[in-house]
């Protein structure tokens, strides 16, 4: 899609992690590199690099198979704008359906 074409792997990973956190209502969750790579459409090596960068700048803590968002505001700021668009659309649909 458009997001995959125009945004960096790091931005897309940030967006996807925020959406997962919203869905599971937790800032910590188990995720493998293989699963993440399939979800954001990059090789595992790309996930390793992107997660390492987000870890290095203090936005997430990433250990084998487990991710913790430690600076949500920073991760939202770093994420591509697609996160806000998708989040708002989900919120609207959820409100409309209830």
Domains and CATH numbers, the chain: 2-97 (1.10.10.10)
Q: Is the dihedral of CA 75, 8, 61, 83 positive or negative?
A: positive
- Predicted TM-score of the model (pTM): 0.81
What does the pLDDT look like over 5-28, one tens digit per residue?
666 899 999 999 999 999 899 999
What does the pLDDT look like over 43-55, one tens digit per residue?
999 999 999 999 9
d(CA 95, CA 29): 26
């Amino acid at each position: 899609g458009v997001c995959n074409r125009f945004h960096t792997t790091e931005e897309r990973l940030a967006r996807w992690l925020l959406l997962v956190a919203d869905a599971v209502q937790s800032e910590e969750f188990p995720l493998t590199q293989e699963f993440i790579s399939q979800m954001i459409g990059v090789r595992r090596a790309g996930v390793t690099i992107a997660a390492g960068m987000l870890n290095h700048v203090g936005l997430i803590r990433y250990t084998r198979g487990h991710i913790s968002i430690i600076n949500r505001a920073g991760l939202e700021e770093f994420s591509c704008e697609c996160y806000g668009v998708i989040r708002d659309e989900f919120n609207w649909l959820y409100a409309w359906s209830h």
